[in-house]
Amino acid sequence: MPEPVLSIRSLAVTFPGADAPLRAVRGVDLDVHEGEVLGIVGESGSGKSVTALAAAALLPESAQVSGTITLAGQSVLGAPADTLRRMRGNDIGVVFQDPSTTLNPLLPIGRQITEGEIAHGRLSQRDAPARAVALLCEVDIADPSSRASQYPHQFSGGMRQRAVIAMAMAGRPRLIIADEPTTALDVTVQAQVLDLLARRQKETGAAVVLITHDLGVVAEVAHRVAVMYAGRIVETGTVREIFSHPRHPYTAALLRSAPRIDATGGRLDPIPGQPPNPGALPPGCSFRPRCAIGGDRALCAEQEPPLRPLAPGRAAACHFADEVRPPAQAASVAAQPAEPEPTRAAAPLLEVENLVVHFPIRAGLLRRVVRTVRAVDGVSLRLAAGETLGLVGESGCGKTTTGRTIMGLVPATAGRVVFDGKAISGLDRMALRPVRRRMQYVFQDPYSSLNPMLNVGDAVAEPLRIHGLYDEMGGARWIAQLFDVVGLPASAAHRLPREFSGGQKQRIGIARALALKPKLLILDEPVASLDVSIQAQIVNLLQDLQRELGLAYLFIAHDLSIVKHVSDRVAVMYLGRIVEESDKRTLYDAPTHPYTQALLSAVPAPDVSEAAGRRRIILEGEIPNPAAPPPGCHFHPRCFRASALCVREAPNFARHGDSETRVACHHAGPLEPDAPLRHAMGAAP
Amino acid sequence: MIAFVLRRLAQLLPVLLGASALIFAMMYAVPGGPVGVLVGENATAEQIEAVTKQFGLDRPIIVQYGDWLLRALGGDLGLSLHSREPVLKLITERLPATLQLAALATVIGLALGIPIALGSALAQGSWLDRALSGWSALALGVPTFWVGILLILLFAVELRLLPAASGYVPFWSDPVQAVRNTILPALTLGLYVSGIFARFLRGSLIGELNSDYVRTARSKGLKERTIVVRHVMRNALLPFITIVGIALAGFIGGTVVTESVFTYPGLGRLVIQAISTRDYPLIQGAILVILLIYVLINLAVDVLYVYIDPRIDFQ
């Protein structure tokens, strides 16, 4: 076997912590070979990014690092700064998570992607502009010569990440570290970027370390997988082995807990508890408190299991690796009979008709309206009591604005909102008050949606006080009950938000929304910022609450798998309009709108056998600017079925044949197995 | 860019108009009103009537204001009650001295503040950082009159290098004498703002040094020096420019103490004299001019922003 490009032995990284040192990485061994893609999977705080950053010697100075890291035959730890500098860009390139912050906003893109090669003396200042154009060309940026002189804010998110990839690969490094490279991107753009990353990896033969929390992305791209938990690798193997026969209970539990787009209903199987604090690890096996098989065994409590080889290239750190159940089997155990269809009340609880929300852009001395952002451009929805409607779409499609407008947080430009038999659009604040009692909002980011200075009991009680109902509804007793309902101890009420984890904060957000006993919850990406294992806990909680309290949910999300899991019906939004709406099963099994079809095919599924056989639709381009939407059908510039008619005329949102589905497409219909999937009308603008 | 400047100026018109109305209204707020200001406390009824007639003070206030504003725009700010000289002339005599002092003080503040900020931000948490941060605190904490007196004692009395009382020598007529005369008050003020500059820029630099794009720049293998100069400095300077603009504007008319210590003939002392002699036309004129300079400095800051930050355009 040839020398690995990257070889890490006994890596340990410790950061100084407030109370105890934070042991972020505790003894990691790994090898990555030329042409290989190693996926490192783990939840936040598992040490996956720290491990990778250590390889590039990019950790902050406060980190205490021990062990050995050999990159392209050279030792990284203890190497002089000059050597490290030469290795970066030459031997190793890094693609970071958030392309909106990884580029310097004040320098042109072209300059940023070439300055590495200039610094290494491989490129002259004179040749740099031409080189920048060539590099942008390699990552499929249209019109590279004018793009090279533009600044990051003139690039879309996906284009920025392409530029970052071009930058990381400019020096043809032997190792690429991609740290959550698509987490900040939309699913159709994620598909493009993963495609590009895989292509460039093949072209350059570089080794890649792909760090991600998304099992689907790993299944799609990686050859080999290392699963990390609490600072250690707990399992390694080929992608196929890991996904079909996990040998560590954490891997198995992770696979079980994620909702899958190819699964039907049932209940999620979350991992109980939460990842341990790297400053206070439990004794023995650090997964024991959450483990389904170790549980109360003495051995697990006493000894941290070493990473034991099970077969060539296969290892697991579990005392009882033989007892781990594969996920398929587990799924059949966990699956429950499909839930009964919700009984539809005669009149819907919420009815939205032709909702329009336009935001004017003003400019000039007189603040004239120069353009209009058409955030929501004619949306119609119906939601019955006790039902969940999933509203799904990519960023900028208007799904959040729709939710906020229904809630009355944003004024509607036109259209009607009828809630509980009463038209509420255009009501003033006072008139909206009693309506708001029955309709509550749960925000995406549990970290910033709670006032840090207010103890969480008061935060939950606040809606009651605002409506003057605190005593009427039972005061402290009701608050304690609410905490119990969302699975938190009543004693938690006196603590401040910072003492809670993300999942717990979201429970508090839900308790606050439930305080007034609403009939409808508008859930705006309620689990998007949570780890996979925690997501499942919150999703289950929401489903239990819905059953017990008969709540209706408007579930706004970009994650198609979760939307499928929780919804009765699903509406797909694109650039301010609903393009397709149907009951869940019809929409996911027989989508008729090309955008829905592309969206569904772009979701990476955590299943290797499927990933291998599936036909992907990779849409070109990104969602256009809602201030200047394309004429006709908004989707036509990216559509693989677009015709001249689509450019001329916007399609009506109407029933498709005699099915449940309503769709807005001139060419709606099932996906033909051999139809061309690339855009038929030339490159997207 | 010219359109941008004109547009910004047009946007500032309401501000200037409102401020000028307030300045005009000041005359009516003082005891005895504008007539009392003109005739003094022991005037007879005839004198009052004569002055009221002579200055048109019996007209409606809005007309008086319009008249006053028009004349102010034409450069006629009235006569000083004290010296009977035109207010504009008194101010323009002092203004160059003030501008020269303000400019030199700002340059000194930057020359001290930027290296201090860089030194402490790049060695964050080290003894150097603590020492330099201590220096900033000292520069801010010690009163300027005390620093001024110390400087006089050292350079004028002990070393006999520089004059103790500073006169105004225009820089373009005799640069050496100009600097010799302005350096001590400028140093006093410069030391003080260097503390503000260093503190603010240090925070700004540390924020930028920890940002993602710096990590990206390191991952490319750039030299630390290049990273600081090319990437960090530009970003950190953006918010810093605003602070420098505010400090510079503050030096116009706001340096009375230092001017007094060095008997420097600046605008600040003129204003104080005007206030102590209740020379209202002079106070009005001075406030108007200082306000105008404030506005212009802020405009210059806005233009600089557009030059440095491509995300903002001349719209």
User: For A251-290, how does the pLDDT look when each residue is reduced to its tens digit (9 = 90+)?
Assistant: 999 888 888 777 766 788 888 888 888 888 888 899 998 8
pLDDT, mean of residues A438-444: 89
Residue B74 belongs to a domain:
yes
pLDDT, mean of residues A458-470: 90
pLDDT, mean of residues A20-42: 93
Q: What is the pLDDT of residue A260?
A: 79
Least confident stretch, A73-77, B173-177, B222-226, B310-314: B310-314
Whole-angstrom Cα distance, residue B196 to residue B141?
A: 11
Whole-angstrom Cα distance, residue A662 to residue A658?
A: 10
CATH number of the domain to which B291 belongs: 1.10.3720.10
Q: CA of A145 to nearest chain B CA: how many angstroms apart?
A: 18
pLDDT band for position A431 (cuts 50, 70, 90): confident
The domain boundary, picked from B43, B69, B84, lies at B84
Question: Both B224 and B158 in a single domain?
Answer: yes
Question: Both B226 and B99 in a single domain?
Answer: yes
Summarize chain B as % helix, strand, coil (round to 5).
75, 0, 25
Mean pLDDT over the full length of chain A: 87
Which tops the pLDDT comparison, A284 or B37?
A284
Residue B76 belongs to a domain:
yes
pLDDT, mean of residues A598-616: 74
Which helix (H) or strand (E) segment holds residue A363: the answer is strand A350-363
| Per-residue pLDDT tens over the stretch B160-199 | 888 888 788 888 888 888 889 899 999 999 999 999 999 9
Q: What is the pLDDT of residue A444?
A: 81
B213 to A105: CB separation less than 8 angstroms, yes or no: yes
Question: Both B111 and B159 in a single domain?
Answer: yes
Whole-angstrom Cα distance, residue A581 to residue A604?
A: 22
Least confident stretch, A212-226, B53-67, B127-141, B205-219: B53-67
| B223, B309, B315 ranked by CB distance to A106: nearest | B309
Count the domains in chain B: 2
| A101, A104, A151 ranked by CB distance to B231: nearest | A104
pLDDT, mean of residues B240-261: 89
Which tops the pLDDT comparison, A370 or B91?
B91
Question: Both B180 and B232 in a single domain?
Answer: yes
Which residues on chain B are in Cβ contact (under 8 Å) with A106? 234-235, 308-310
A87 to B221: CB separation less than 8 angstroms, yes or no: yes
pLDDT band for position A610 (cuts 50, 70, 90): low
Whole-angstrom Cα distance, residue A211 to residue A201?
A: 15
Q: What is the pLDDT of residue A612?
A: 52
Chain B interface, mutation test: which of A58, A91, A102, A104, most B Cβ atoms within 10 Å?
A: A104
pTM value is 0.84
pLDDT, mean of residues B20-39: 80
Question: Both B178 and B95 in a single domain?
Answer: yes
Q: Where are the beta strands (DSSP E) in A472-622?
A: 520-524, 552-557, 569-574, 577-583
Q: What is the pLDDT of residue A675?
A: 64
A173 CB near a chain B CB, below 8 Å?
A: no
Q: What is the pLDDT of residue A265?
A: 64
Least confident stretch, A46-50, A541-545, B172-176: B172-176
B3 CB near a chain A CB, below 8 Å?
A: no
Least confident stretch, A610-614, B74-78, B177-181, B243-247: A610-614
Q: What is the pLDDT of residue A48?
A: 93
Report the SS3 class of residue A23: strand
A104 to B221: CB separation less than 8 angstroms, yes or no: no
Question: Both B14 and B115 in a single domain?
Answer: no
| A81, A88, A364 ranked by CB distance to B220: nearest | A88
pLDDT band for position B315 (cuts 50, 70, 90): low
Which residues on chain A are in Cβ contact (under 8 Å) with B213? 101-105
Residue B131 belongs to a domain:
yes
Structural contact between residues A177 and A5, judged by C-beta atoms closer than 8 angstroms: no
CATH number for A350-574 (one of 3.30.1330.10, 3.50.50.60, 3.30.450.190, 3.40.50.300): it is 3.40.50.300
Which tops the pLDDT comparison, B42 or A176?
A176
Q: Report CA-CA distances (Å) from A645 to A412, A572, A598, A676, A681.
A: 30, 22, 21, 18, 12
First CA to last CA distance, chain A: 47
The answer for A153, left when phi > 0, alpha when psi is -120 to 50, beta otherwise, is alpha
Question: Both B161 and B108 in a single domain?
Answer: yes
B220 CB-near residues (< 8 Å, 6+ apart)? A88, A89, A93, A115, A116, A119, A167
Residue B313 belongs to a domain:
no
B217 CB near a chain A CB, below 8 Å?
A: yes
A115 to B222: CB separation less than 8 angstroms, yes or no: yes
A96 to B231: CB separation less than 8 angstroms, yes or no: no
B311 to A151: CB separation less than 8 angstroms, yes or no: yes
Q: What is the pLDDT of residue A333?
A: 38
Question: Both B295 and B154 in a single domain?
Answer: yes
B222 to A85: CB separation less than 8 angstroms, yes or no: yes
Q: CA of A102 to nearest chain B CA: how many angstroms apart?
A: 4
Question: Both B152 and B15 in a single domain?
Answer: no
A101 CB near a chain B CB, below 8 Å?
A: yes
CATH (residue range A6-222)? 3.40.50.300
Q: CA of B3 to nearest chain A CA: how many angstroms apart?
A: 11
Two structure tokens written together for A336: 């429950």
A176 CB-near residues (< 8 Å, 6+ apart)? A92, A93, A94, A95, A168, A169, A201, A206, A207, A208, A209
Nearest of A587, A604, A672 to residue A195 by alpha carbon: A604
Mean pLDDT over the full length of chain B: 88
Q: What is the pLDDT of residue A390?
A: 95
Question: Both B276 and B131 in a single domain?
Answer: yes
Question: Both B62 and B124 in a single domain?
Answer: no
Tell me the percentage of chain A whose pLDDT exceeds 70. 93
Question: Both B40 and B162 in a single domain?
Answer: no
The domain boundary, picked from B84, B99, B118, lies at B84
Whole-angstrom Cα distance, residue A636 to residue A632?
A: 8
Which segments of chain A belong to CATH 3.40.50.300? 6-222, 350-574
B309 CB near a chain A CB, below 8 Å?
A: yes
Least confident stretch, A386-400, A647-661, B24-38: B24-38
- Chain A residue whose CA is closest to B230: A107
Q: What is the pLDDT of residue A421?
A: 87
Residue B10 pLDDT greater than 90, yes or no = no
A87 to B211: CB separation less than 8 angstroms, yes or no: no
A103 to B219: CB separation less than 8 angstroms, yes or no: no
Residue B42 pLDDT greater than 80, yes or no = no
The domain boundary, picked from B84, B105, B125, lies at B84
Least confident stretch, A174-178, A511-515, A567-571, B254-258: B254-258
Residue A233 pLDDT greater than 90, yes or no = yes
B221 to A153: CB separation less than 8 angstroms, yes or no: no
DSSP alpha helices (H): ranges in A226-369?
239-244, 249-257, 298-302, 327-334
Two structure tokens written together for B202: 């240090």
Most confident of A655-659, B12-16, B192-196, B300-304: B192-196
Domain limits at B263? 88-308
Two structure tokens written together for B50: 């004569």
Which tops the pLDDT comparison, A511 or A534?
A511
